[in-house]
C-alpha cells in the first residue's frame, strides 16, 4: 500500500527521473538516504517499472503528428503486426482499442510524403481514419 510520501516521490520522479536523491528527499520531507531507500523499495515492488526520456520529435525532424484509427480487413492481425514492426521509426504507440476501430496508432512523420507512403502501405492490411495534431494543449 502506498502512502502520501510514496505518492510525492512518484510525482516528483515523473517530472524529473534524474532528480538527485537529496533534492527528492527535501520535496518528500525525507533525508536523501531515506528517499533513495523508498525509491529502491518502489522499484523492488514493481511500482516503478523503469525510467525513460521524453524526446522532442520535432527537433528530430518529425513535424507531422497523427493519430490513426485502424480497421483491419479480417480477423487475422499478424500481417498488420508485422507491418507495425517495420514502421517503428514512425509509430510512437500502438494501442488495441474498443469502440471506433481495432487499433489506434500514434505516429510522427518528417513530411506529408512519408505519411502518404505509410498510409499506402497500411491500406494493404486495413482501412483507416486519420486525425492530425494541430497543437498540443497543456
Q: Is the pTM of this model over 0.85?
A: no
Closest CA to 132 of 70, 69, 71, 65: 65
Element (H, E) at 68: strand 64-72
Q: Tell me: the pLDDT tens digits for 2-53?
A: 999 999 999 999 999 999 999 999 999 999 999 999 999 999 999 999 998 8
Is the predicted pLDDT of residue 59 greater than 90, yes or no?
Answer: no
End-to-end C-alpha distance for the chain, whole angstroms: 31
C-alpha cell at 66: 497523427
The three-state secondary structure class of 20 is coil
Amino acid at each position: 500500500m502506498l502512502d502520501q510520501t510514496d505518492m510525492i516521490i512518484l510525482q516528483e520522479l515523473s517530472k524529473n527521473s534524474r532528480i538527485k536523491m537529496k533534492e527528492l528527499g527535501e520535496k518528500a520531507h525525507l533525508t536523501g538516504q531515506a528517499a533513495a531507500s523508498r525509491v529502491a523499495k518502489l522499484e523492488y515492488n514493481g511500482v516503478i517499472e523503469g525510467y525513460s526520456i521524453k524526446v522532442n520529435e520535432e527537433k528530430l525532424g518529425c513535424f507531422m503528428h497523427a493519430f490513426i484509427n485502424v480497421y483491419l480487413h479480417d480477423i487475422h492481425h499478424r500481417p498488420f503486426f508485422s507491418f507495425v514492426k517495420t514502421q517503428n521509426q514512425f509509430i510512437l504507440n500502438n494501442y488495441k482499442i474498443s469502440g471506433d476501430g481495432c487499433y489506434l496508432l500514434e505516429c510522427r512523420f518528417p513530411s506529408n510524403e512519408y505519411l502518404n507512403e505509410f498510409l499506402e502501405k497500411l491500406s494493404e492490411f486495413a482501412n483507416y481514419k486519420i486525425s492530425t495534431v494541430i497543437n498540443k494543449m497543456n
